[in-house]
Amino acid sequence: MYREALREAIDEEMERNKLVFIIGEGIAERGGSYKVTEGLLAKYGSLRVRDTPIAEAGMIGVGVGAAIAGARPIVEILYIDFAMLGMDMIVNQAAKFRLMTGGDGRVPFVMRTQGGAGGGVAAQHSQSLEALFYHIPGLKVVMPSVPADAKGLLKYALRQDDPVMFLEHKHLYMSKGPVPDGEHIVEFGKGDIKRSGKDVTLIAWSNMIPRSLEAAEALAKEGIDVEVVDPRTLVPLDKELILTSVAKTNRVVIVQEAVRRGGVASDIASIIQEEAFYDLDAPIEIVAGLNIPIPFNLELEKASVPQKDDVIAAVKRCLHPEQFTARAAN
Known catalytic residues?
Answer: 125
Q: Which of 10, 28, 59, 111 binds other proteins (CB under 8 A)?
A: 59
Residue 69 or 329: the one with the smaller Cβ distance to other proteins is 69
Closest CA to 256 of 221, 222, 297, 291: 291
| Gap between the Cα atoms of 281 and 49, Å rounded | 53
329 belongs to the binding site for other proteins (CB under 8 A): no
60 binds other proteins (CB under 8 A): yes
CA 285, CA 287: separation in Å to the nearest integer? 7
- Which among 231, 32, 209, 25 is positioned nearest to 141, based on CA atoms? 231
Query: 72 vs 171, which CB is nearer to other proteins?
Result: 72
What is 204-227 written as a DSSP string? Answer: E-TTHHHHHHHHHHHHHTTT--EE
DSSP-derived 3-state class of residue 69: coil
Q: How far is the CB of 248 from other proteins (least distance, A)?
A: 28
Q: Which residues does residue 121 pair with via DSSP β-bridges, in sequence order?
A: none
Does 35 engage in binding with other proteins (CB under 8 A)? no
Q: Is 50 in the site for other proteins (CB under 8 A)?
A: yes
Q: Which of 26, 58, 283, 321 binds other proteins (CB under 8 A)?
A: 58
Using the rule CB under 8 A, is 48 a contact of other proteins? yes
Whole-angstrom distance, CA of residue 82 vs CA of residue 226: 36
Q: Segment 206-265, which members bind other proteins (CB under 8 A)?
A: 236
16 contacts other proteins (rule: CB under 8 A): no
- Residue 104 Cβ, how far from other proteins at the closest point, in Å? 5
In the 8-state DSSP scheme, what is residue 63?
H
26 binds other proteins (CB under 8 A): no
**Residue 203 CB partners (closer than 8 Å, separation 6+):** 229, 230, 231, 242, 252, 253, 254, 255, 265, 268
Q: Of 53, 178, 182, 223, which lies in the binding site for other proteins, with binding defined by CB under 8 A? A: 53
Closer of 177 and 236 to other proteins (Cβ): 236
Residue of 16, 29, 45, 100 interacting with other proteins (CB under 8 A): 100
Q: Which of residues 127-186 bind other proteins (CB under 8 A)?
A: 137-138
Phi, psi (degrees; rounded to nearest 5) at 218:
-65, -40
Cβ of residue 318: shortest distance to other proteins, in angstroms? Answer: 32
Contact call for residues 107 and 72 (beta carbons, < 8 A)? no
What does residue 8 show for φ and ψ, rounded to 5 degrees? -60, -40
Q: In the complex, which residues of this chain contact other proteins (CB under 8 A)?
A: 18-19, 21, 47-48, 50, 52-53, 55, 57-71, 73, 88-89, 92-93, 97, 99-105, 137-138, 236
